Every structure is written in C-alpha cells, then in structure tokens.
Amino acid sequence: MGTVISLTRKGQLTIPKSVREALDLKPFDRVEVEVVGREARLRKVPLTLDDLVGILPPLDPPMDPDEMVRLAKEERAQRWREKFG
C-alpha cells in the first residue's frame, strides 16, 4: 500500500518526498494525472522544445542559423583546447 495524504480545503495535495524522489520531480516540473477507474496515476512529463521557447531572450540582432552553428563549433573547439591543450 502507498502513502496516505490528505486533501486541503482548496483541493490541493502535497506530493510526499519519497514520491518526488522516486519520480525525480523538481520544482516547476510538470506532472500528468491520469484517472484509471477509481485510481489516479501520476507521471513526470518530460520537457519539450516548446517548453523551452521563451526562456532565453531573443538575439538582438537576430542571428543566422548557420552563424549560430559556426559560433557553437568555435566555442566547443576553444573549450577543448583549454581542457586538453
């Protein structure tokens, strides 16, 4: 049998630490609740690219995708040189 928790007056639940750890839930993670018969099942919802849109400010001025790839490769090469000489 699982852990018993109480519903608040506002209809809220606190997910016990053991469950958060088992599902690897962190603050602001999204959780899906699925009702199956008379049971509710929780699962962590993985991030999608759509979830990440808007986290970073837009580039000003906008950058060409090819230029972004070139800069990323350049930066990776620089980190490699610093690490391995």
Provide the pLDDT for residue 16. Answer: 94
pLDDT tens, residue by residue, 10-39:
999 999 999 999 999 998 899 999 999 999
Q: pLDDT band at residue 53, thresholds of 50, 70 and 90? A: confident
Q: pLDDT band at residue 50, thresholds of 50, 70 and 90? A: confident
Model's pTM, two decimal places? 0.54
Separation CA 60–CA 69 (nearest Å): 17
Separation CA 12–CA 15 (nearest Å): 10
Average pLDDT of the residues in 48-60? 75
Q: Strands, DSSP E only, in 1-85?
A: 30-36, 39-45
Provide the pLDDT for residue 52. Answer: 73
